[in-house]
Amino acid sequence: MTTTLVMKRPSEFRQGLQSGIAIAIGYMPIALTFGLLAKTTGLSISETVLMSMIVFAGASQYISLSLLAIGTAAFEIILATFIVNIRHFLMSASLNEKAEHDHPFKKALYAFGITDETFSVAATKEGTVTTGYLFGVTSISYGSWVVFSGIGHAIGASLPSTLQEAMSVALYAMFVGLLVPSMKKHRKVVILAAFAAILNTIFIQVLSVGWSIVLATVISACVVELVSQKLGKEGQNHE
Amino acid sequence: MNSTILWMIIGMGIVTYIPRMLPFVALSGINLPPFFQAVLKNVPYATLGALIVPGIFTIHEDLWFGIIGAVVAFGVAYLGANVIVVVISAILALSMYSFLF
């Protein structure tokens, strides 16, 4: 039985590529628009593609454009980037618990591809995630991001507006699609997500997006854990 | 290529890469206390909650966009559909909505 399972299963890398398709689709409209905005901000096509290749973080790349447009100094843009992306620290720490044990060098390589989306796909996968799987998910996402940034700049347009508007839901729908199966299985997941959603809605009124998500996530994850452990002592198993 | 822009891009790349890479390397082979492990296991679900709300309701000035997108995505996902199907259903529903209104 073990052999047939192994035989039938596509390689971990290919499985990762497949799981990453939803991300690749979702990145398309955002990357096209990024390319277009970069062009109007005055970046050359090589600068645009290089930024997508080296930074690979949607929100902060958008922010850098709006800061460049108002003449902000490079140092401040770098600082803003750091603040927006500090949330990945939490995601990597979480994924590291779930990732297959491997050489730190390989981990440092796929770590480059950790985004909100690749993290969400990998972290909601059942069981351990292998190095091959992580390389699969991150490479298809990275490819989509870089290629469509370039295309957006080259053709100087994004998708037709109706499609562009409809596609703006893609990544959110993907997050929902990743979350719901676990919500159906564990009530704890429902509470974790709902609590963080409420906190984020409140925090975002006063904090930047990056900090708001970090704070909402940490508070929800800790409080729900404390409460469920306390309740778990009364009953037997909380998981 | 403008050299200020080039250095800015490299700087942005470095400060983005460090938080992504550090936990994988620094925590490699380290067993965290059970409570931290449990919290880190909770992180994906809490993150997803925060990534979806309120963001999904801000994709368009027309609030119905977000509402329809959220309802369709939740409904289709609840029926047990694959993530790709959830994404395509939400896109189709919103295409139809903006075509009709």
Between CA A150 and CA A17 the distance in angstroms is 21
pLDDT confidence band for B76 (50 / 70 / 90) = very high
Check whether A231 has a pLDDT greater than 70: yes
Helix (H, G, I), strand (E, B) or coil at A135: helix
The count of C-alpha atoms lying within 13 angstroms of the C-alpha of A10, restricted to the half-sphere facing its C-beta, is: 9
Chain A residue with minimum CA distance to B46: A193
What's the CA gap between A95 and A124, in Å, rounded?
10
The pLDDT of residue A208 is 86
A29-50: b (≥16 Cβ within 10 Å) or e: bbbbbbbbbbbeeebebebbbb
Reported confidence tier of residue A1, pLDDT bands at 50, 70, 90: very low
* B48-61 average pLDDT score: 95
Q: Rounded to whole angstroms, how far apart are CA atoms B21 and A105? A: 10
Q: How far apart are CA A98 and CA A100, in angstroms?
A: 7
Say what the pLDDT of residue A107 is. Answer: 97
Are the Cβ atoms of A112 and B44 closer than 8 angstroms?
no
Confidence of residue A2 (pLDDT cuts 50, 70, 90): very low
pLDDT 10s digits, A171-210: 999 999 999 999 999 999 999 999 999 999 999 999 988 8
Question: Which residues in chain B have Cβ-Cβ distances shorter than 8 Å to A179?
Answer: 45, 48-49, 52, 77
CA–CA separation, A72 vs A68, rounded Å? 5
When pLDDT is averaged across residues A207-216 and rounded to a whole number, the result is: 91
Stated as kind and residue range, the H or E segment containing A166 is helix A161-167
A187 touches chain B (CB under 8 A): no
**Which chain A residues are within 8 Å of B50, Cβ to Cβ?**
196-197, 199-200, 212-213, 216-217, 220
Does B30 reach chain A within 8 Å, measured CB to CB? no
Q: Is pLDDT above 60 for B85?
A: yes
Cα–Cα dist A87/B72, whole Å: 28
**A-interface mutation test, from B24, B71, B99, most A Cβ less than 10 A away:** B24
Q: How confident is the model at residue A9 (pLDDT cuts 50, 70, 90)?
A: low
Phi, psi of A9 (to 5 degrees): -75, 130
Set of chain A residues whose Cβ sits within 8 Å of the Cβ of B99: 162
Closest CA to A178 of A24, A14, A22: A22
Give dist(CA A19, CA A124) in Å, integer: 11
3-state secondary structure A51-103: HHHHCCCHHHHHHHHHHHHCCCCHHHHHHHHHHHHCHHHHHHHHHHHHECCCC
What is the mean predicted confidence (pLDDT) over A81-101? 95
Across chain A, what does the average pLDDT equal?
Answer: 91
- Whether the Cβ atoms of residue A172 and residue B73 lie closer than 8 Å to each other: yes
Q: Tens digit of pLDDT for each residue in A131-167?
A: 999 999 999 999 999 999 999 999 987 788 888 888 8
Q: Are A169 and B94 in contact (CB under 8 A)?
A: yes
Name the residue of chain B whose CA is nearest to A216's CA.
B50
CB B49 within 8 A of CB A176: no
Let me know: does A207 contact A218? Beta carbons within 8 Å. no
Question: What residues of A are in contact with residue B70 (Cβ under 8 Å)?
Answer: 172, 176
| Distance set, CA A56 to CA A1, A62, A207, B6 (Å) | 41, 11, 23, 15
| Backbone dihedral angles phi then psi of residue A155, each to the nearest 5 degrees | -85, -10
How many other C-beta atoms are found inside a 10 Å radius of the C-beta of residue A154?
Answer: 14
How confident is the model over A30-65, as pLDDT tens digits? 999 999 999 999 999 999 999 999 999 999 999 999
C-alpha A52/C-alpha A144 separation (Å) is 10
* Residue A235 or A118, more confident: A118
Q: What is the C-alpha to C-alpha distance for residues A36 and A156, in angstroms, rounded to an integer? A: 5
pLDDT, mean of residues B79-98: 94
* pTM listed for this prediction: 0.90
The answer, yes or no, to whether residue A238 has pLDDT greater than 70, is no
Q: Which residue would you say has higher pLDDT here, A237 or A129? A: A129
User: What are the pLDDT digits (tens) for A10-26?
Assistant: 799 999 999 999 999 99
Chain B CB contacts of A28 under 8 Å are none
- Largest distance between two CA atoms of chain B: 56
- Distance separating alpha carbons of residues B7 and A130, to the nearest angstrom: 34
Predicted pLDDT of residue A187? 95
Q: Does B3 touch chain A (CB under 8 A)?
A: no
Residue type, B15: V
Kindly report the number of other CB atoms within 10 A of residue B59's CB atom: 21
Q: What's the pLDDT band for B34 if we cut at 50, 70, 90? A: very high
Residue A227: its pLDDT value, please? 96
Listed residue (B26, B46, B29) closest to B38, CA to CA: B46
How would residue B14 be classed by pLDDT, with cut points 50, 70 and 90?
A: very high
